[in-house]
Amino acid sequence: MGKPEIKLAGIADVKFGEGVKVVGPSNLYGCEIGDNTFIGPFVEIQKGVRIGKRCKVQSHAFICEMVTVGDDCFISHGVMFVNDKFAKGRPAGGDKNLWAATKIGNNVSIGSNATILPVSIADGTVIGAGAVVTKDIKEPGVYAGNPARRLKDLPK
């Protein structure tokens, strides 16, 4: 019988801004969290991720490497970020050359259980619950569905 290597969730090598609140258990490592941001329980934020100021990341969200989130963003429960585009028709595994970055603008809201592939999302966009964002969103508005499509403009 072999013995597993056990790694416990925790917080390591994180650069925190002022007034940040983290509810444990959470797994945060090698990332940067901006001023007055809230991180809920059961969240994982991986190395190299940058979360802006005054954001709220709700429970069970997963934010993988190569993701940048702007200021004043809301990431709801169970949102999943993906950095692997399956360029070879299968998971890239540890080959980070096949991964791609995700950039979330400022004032973006992402609904529960949305999946965000490697894309850019414009400032002021709303992503509906359960949406799967597969392409860049260049114009703000409300987007939902699988794949996510623009449903309407937002009031100015």
What the block records as the tokens of 94 is: 């540890």
Between the two ends of the chain, the Cα-to-Cα distance in Å is 63
Please answer whether residues 53 and 36 qualify as being in contact, where contact means their C-beta atoms are separated by less than 8 angstroms: yes
**For residue 3, what pLDDT is reported?**
92
- Ordered by where they begin, the domains of the chain are 14-86+97-152 (2.160.10.10)
Q: In what order do the strands lie in the sheet with 109-110?
A: 21-22, 38-39, 56-57, 74-75, 109-110, 126-127, 142-144, 149-152
The tens place of each residue's pLDDT in the chain, 156 residues long, gives 899 998 888 999 999 999 999 999 999 999 999 999 999 999 999 999 999 999 999 999 999 999 999 999 999 999 999 999 888 888 888 888 999 999 999 999 999 999 999 999 999 999 999 999 999 999 999 999 999 999 999 887
